[in-house]
Structure 1
Amino acid sequence: MIAQLQGRLVEKNLTDVVIDCHGVGYLVEISLHTYSQLPDNEQCKLYTYMQVREDAHRLFGFAEKSEREIFKLLLSVSGVGANTARTMLSSVAPTQIAQAIASEDVRTIQSVKGIGAKTAQRVILDLKDKILQVLDNPEISIVASNTGRDEALSALETLGYARKQAQKVVDKILSNQPDATVEDLIKQALKQL
C-alpha cells in the first residue's frame, strides 16, 4: 500500500490534488483541513490511505498523521464510509472530532452534514476507547462529565457565539478548572471570546 507521497503539487482543488512523484501524477482525495495546509505549486508531503474496493481504488491524503489515523478509525465504524469520514474531517478539525468522541459530545459530531443522532452515537460508542490510544495528544483528553459544560455552551450559543469557538474556550477553561460552575464558565468564556 501507499503510505505517503512526496513530490511537486501540480494541481490543487478543494476535494483533491495531483502530486507529481518523479513523472507519475497521483490523484489524491483530501479534506478541507488538509487543503488549507497545502502550499500552492510547491513540494509537499501527504500521508496517505489507499482504499481498495472491487469497483474502485481510491487514494486519500492528509497533511498530518493524526488526521489519517482519525480517518481510519472513522472508517471502522459501521455506517461511516470514506466520503462521510472525509466530510467530517472537512467540517470539524481533526482534534475537535477526537475531543468530541473522547468527551461523548454527540452534538458536535451530529453537526456534520449527513450524520444523524444514531450514527453520531455509534461513532462515540465504537471509538471512545480507541481514540485516546491511537492519538498520543495531551490536548485531547476526556473532559470530566460536567453538566455545566453543556449548559454554558447553550448559553453562549444563545448569546450569539459560534458553538465551535465557544466549545474550544469552555474546554480550555475546564481543563484548568474541572470544578468550574456554569456561571464561572460563562463569565470566563465571555472574557476570552
Structure 2
Amino acid sequence: MIASLRGEVLQVGISSAVIDVAGVGYQVLATPNTLSRLQIGHEVHIWTSLVVREDSMTLFGFASTDEKSVFETLTGVSGIGPKIALAVLAVFTPDELRRALASRDEKALGRVPGIGKKSAQRMILEIGDKLGPVLGEAPAAGGTSEAIDPAVLEGLISLGWRESEAEEAIRAARENGAGSSVPELLRAALQVLGSRR
C-alpha cells in the first residue's frame, strides 16, 4: 500500500497531479482543495490511498489524513466507488460532510454528482457517526470574477455536464462568491450543479 508521497510537483491538472518521487512520476487523483495547495516545482507531502481493480491501480491523494480517512470510509459504503467518494470531497469538506450526515440532510448530500436519494440514505445509514465529531475546519474565502474559466469548463464537461449547463453553473458560482482559482471555482460549480438535480 502506498500511504503517502513526498516529492516535487511536476504537473497539476483539473483532477490530478503528477509528483516526482526519486525519479518516478506518480499520477494522483485529488480533490480541488488538495490540488489548489500544489505548486509546480515545489516539494509536497500528500497522503494517499491506492485503489486496486482488475484492470487498474489508481492513486488518490489528500491534503490531510482526515480527508483520506473520510474517503476510505465513503468507499466502504455500498454503491459508492472511489470516483464518487472523491466527488463528495470535492463538494464537501470533511466537517461539512460530518454536519450533513449528523443532520441526516439528504438534500445536501444529493448535491454531489452521482449521489441520488437512495445513495444519500445509504450514506447516512452506513456511515452514521463513523467519521467522528466535527474538527472545526474553516471554509476558504474567495473573490469573484466574471470570465468563464476554460479549465473549469473543460473539467465540468469531462465529468459529463453539457457545456451550457457548465457555463451557467460557473456564472452562478461566481455570483455566490466562489474563489477565482480553478479548484475553488470547480468545487463551487459542482455544488451549483448538484443543487439543481
The TM-score, its normalising length taken from structure 1, stands at: 0.67
Deviation at 1:138, TM superposition (A): 4.1
The CA distance in 2 between the partners of 1:103 and 1:40, in whole Å, is 39
Superposition RMSD in Å: 1.8
- 1:58-102 per-residue CA deviation (whole Å, 9 max, x = no partner) reads 100001110001100110000101111111111222221122112
| CA gap 1:47/1:17 in 2 versus in 1, 3 angstroms | same
- Which residue is equivalent to 1:128? 128
Gaps (5+ residues) in structure 1?
141-160, 163-193
Question: 1:16 aligns to what?
Answer: 16
* Gap change, CA 1:95 and 1:37, over 3 Å in 2: farther
Aligned to 1:105: 105
C-alpha deviation, 1:107, in angstroms: 1.5
**Aligned position for 1:175:** none
Contact 1:7/1:43 (CA < 8 Å) preserved in 2? Answer: yes
Which structure 1 residue ranges, 4+ long, deviate > 6 Å from structure 2?
Answer: none
Taking the aligned partners of 1:42 and 1:128, their CA distance within structure 2 comes to 39
Question: Which residue of structure 2 aligns with residue 139 of structure 1?
Answer: 136
- Bigger CA drift: 71-80 or 32-41? 32-41
- Alignment-derived partner of residue 80 in structure 1: 80
Contact 1:71–1:85 (8 Å) recurs in 2: yes
- Shift of residue 36, structure 1, vs aligned partner: 1.8
* SS of the residue 2:127 aligns to: helix
> TM-score under structure 2 normalisation?
0.66
Gapped regions of structure 2 (runs ≥ 5): 138-174, 177-197
Query: Is contact 1:102–1:131 with CA below 8 Å preserved after alignment?
Result: no
Question: Which structure would you say has the larger Rg?
Answer: 1
Q: Is the helix fraction higher in 1 or 2?
A: 1
Equivalent residue number for residue 27 of structure 1: 27
Letter in 2 for 1:68: K
Q: In the aligned structure 2, how far is the partner of 1:27 from the partner of 1:121?
A: 33
Provide the identity percentage: 37
Where relative contact order (Cα < 8 A, 6+ residues apart) is larger, the structure is: 2
